[in-house]
Structure 1
Amino acid sequence: MASSRDRQRKLARAKLDRQLARRAARTRRRRRIQAGVGAAVVLTLIVVGAAWGLGAFDREPTKDTAQDVCLWTPQDAAANTNLRDVGTPATTDLPTSGTRPMTINTSQGGPVTAELDLAGAPCAAASIAHLAGQSFYDNTKCHEITAEGALRCGDPSGTGLGGPSYSFYDENVPAASEASPSASPAPGQAPAYPKGTVAMIANPPGANGSQFLIFFKDFNPAKPAYPVIGRITGGLDVIEKIGALPTVDNGTGAKVKPKTDVVLQKLTVGEPTQAAPAPTGPASGAPSASPSAG
């Protein structure tokens, strides 16, 4: 019996030893796995940290979206039959520096040349170039000689209410003068609108379309309202001659319509140039501005 019990004890001991050995083996294996995982995590963190520091996780640079230079506001051509739908100019990638040449031929002579100011009035220049490309201005009448000393053109309807089926906001309106308003500014003070200035005129104000003014006299209002878009560089004598024409009632009681038709036969706009703009005032061949002009 003793031998049988001894054998059982040995068997039980052997079984326990095997269980302990297996448990120890599992423990060692688990520790090795944990150690491996820990090392892998540490290594991963090191790699990720280094990559982060080198900018590997920075967002891919995206191409900048072209910013709108101009906003063209649709006008209801059905409500105003004086408007003409000729599409709209581009809104992006418009030149915003330098100048753009403009040439006008009229039934009273020409050519009259001008520079459009791309830095001060990029949208007006873009609009006029677009309309010129659509022959919008061709064979239209300059319908008014204003009391302010300017020729008003650019309305195919000849009513002062016409234009394209879009409008745009004011640009480059001169600051109000601190001196008293006068057609002849104080000595040393330049008028808001020197002779030879090209400016937009809108009805209502601020909703510019196609109509523009060419000043053949200095004009210095208390509160300037016309956006300056350029200046005459040649042929101002033609505009002065037109400004001297007699005027008649335009149908509204205002005697501002030239008695002799002034037809804008052709208006063209050239390509932008980065050449430095010439000094303020008409170029050689055009009469120079005079502070005493009235």
Structure 2
Amino acid sequence: MSEPGGPGQRPEEQWPPYSYPQHQPYPQQHQYPPWQPPVPPKKASPAAVVLVSGSAVVVILMTLAFLAWGYPGFLRDPDVKTLPGISPGGSATLASPTPTITTPSTPVALPGGRAPMPKRTKPLANPVTCAFTPDSGSPAPKKVALPPDGPAPSSGTAEVRLATSAGDIGLTLDRALAPCTVVNFLSLAKQGFYDGTSCHRLSVTAGLQMLQCGDPVGDGTGGPGYTIRDEVFPELTYGRGVLAMAKTNQPDSGGSQFFLVYGEINIPPEYTVFGSIDDAGLEVVDKVARGGIDQSKPGIGDGSGPPKIPVKFTHVTTP
């Protein structure tokens, strides 16, 4: 490649003449600029103050909203006795996450008929030994005696009738499924524990269709002042017509709360099944389910809440 100036030739290099800098006189020592009074900082305008304050308030409110609703159950009572499944937060661990209670715009679809009752593939020993544990952390506005510890039969059934403001609900308690849970339920009923209590939670959500009852406090936090052991097994299934115990998300935390399944329900085999609902009782629960959720009352934030048609127990008839 040829350099500029023709082939084989280098352009004549030109150097600018060197010029020596002239010496400048040194500035006089210790001369400072005259003193000037400090200038006060400018005051922020009222509009700027309002803008900054408003932004801070918005950030604080957004942070609180995130903590309260960003994680289901973050600011909720961990001991609430609810059901689980689609994810009730709390006690029975029957389902929780939707942040608002909603009532379906169309009537609740009920499957009709009844689901087969679960059965143990391996029968329990007969009798079994029951034990009940006092629980000082569970609100118990109704004081009751603990059921008796000791042997209990694991065969046979017991017929119970719940007289309620919505109609009578017949139950068949099955000792082969959960003998100690049956002992507990009969003990509470005979002491009048359920009289005057109401079913506090109706869920009409697909996958969690049940009515929850048995809380003397009425908000899902109450119990009898003691806990009972879970009586579960891997083959447990839940469906229309099943009667089961509610509990917290901890094992062996049931007490007095139970739920009546009237439709579809998808929950793990962690809730003791101890009986079934008769046909007349299912019709009562169906009527309550069709009535929907009372949105004027607080729920637990998972799409469930108090039923519009009240279900208040007036008396429980036991053998």
Q: How many residues are paired up? A: 186
3-state SS in 2 of match to 1:216: strand
1:256 pairs with 305, 309, 313, which one? 305
3-state SS in 1 of match to 2:235: coil
TM-superposed deviation, 1:240: 0.9
Does 1:265 find its partner at 2:307?
no
Which residue matches 2:198? 141
Which residue matches 1:87? 145
TM-score between both structures, scaled by the size of structure 1: 0.58
TM-superposed deviation, 1:169: 1.2
TM-score between both structures, scaled by the size of structure 2: 0.54
Identify unmatched segments of 5+ residues in structure 1.
1-66, 177-191, 271-294
How far apart, CA to CA, are the structure 1 residues paired with 2:298 and 2:278?
30
How far apart, CA to CA, are the structure 2 residues paired with 1:117 and 1:268?
16
Matches within 5 A, 1:171-210: 171-175=231-235, 192-206=237-251, 207-210=253-256
Give yes or no for contact 1:113–1:232 (8 Å, CA) kept in 2: yes
Does 1:226 find its partner at 2:271?
yes
TM-superposed deviation, 1:267: 1.8
Greater per-residue helix proportion: 1
3-state SS in 1 of match to 2:212: strand
Does 1:242 find its partner at 2:288?
yes
What value does the CA root-mean-square deviation take over the aligned residues?
2.2
Does 1:103 find its partner at 2:103?
no
Query: Any idea what the Cα deviations from partners look like across 1:200-231, whole Å, max 9, x if unmatched?
Result: 0012443110111110013233x232211111
Which residue matches 1:44? none
Pair member with larger Rg: 1
Which residue matches 1:126? 183
Which residue matches 1:14? none
Taking structure 1 as reference, are residues 174 and 229 closer, same or farther at Cα in structure 2, changes over 3 Å only?
farther
Identical counterparts, % of pairs = 35
How far apart, CA to CA, are the structure 1 residues paired with 2:128 and 2:274?
19
How far apart, CA to CA, are the structure 2 residues paired with 1:264 and 1:163?
16
What letter is aligned with 2:284?
A: V
1:75 pairs with 131, 135, 140, which one? 135
Query: Any idea what the Cα deviations from partners look like across 1:3-45, whole Å, max 9, x if unmatched?
Result: xxxxxxxxxxxxxxxxxxxxxxxxxxxxxxxxxxxxxxxxxxx
TM-superposed deviation, 1:141: 0.7
How far apart, CA to CA, are the structure 2 residues paired with 1:74 and 1:125?
18
1:216 pairs with 233, 239, 262, which one? 262
How far apart, CA to CA, are the structure 2 residues paired with 1:197 and 1:205?
22
TM-superposed deviation, 1:75: 0.4
Taking structure 1 as reference, are residues 194 and 87 closer, same or farther at Cα in structure 2, changes over 3 Å only?
same
Identify unmatched segments of 5+ residues in structure 2.
1-126
Taking structure 1 as reference, are residues 109 and 219 closer, same or farther at Cα in structure 2, changes over 3 Å only?
same
Taking structure 1 as reference, are residues 93 and 252 closer, same or farther at Cα in structure 2, changes over 3 Å only?
closer
Does 1:170 find its partner at 2:230?
yes
How far apart, CA to CA, are the structure 1 residues paired with 2:275 and 2:284?
17
How far apart, CA to CA, are the structure 1 residues paired with 2:209 and 2:254?
20
How far apart, CA to CA, are the structure 2 residues paired with 1:151 and 1:251?
13
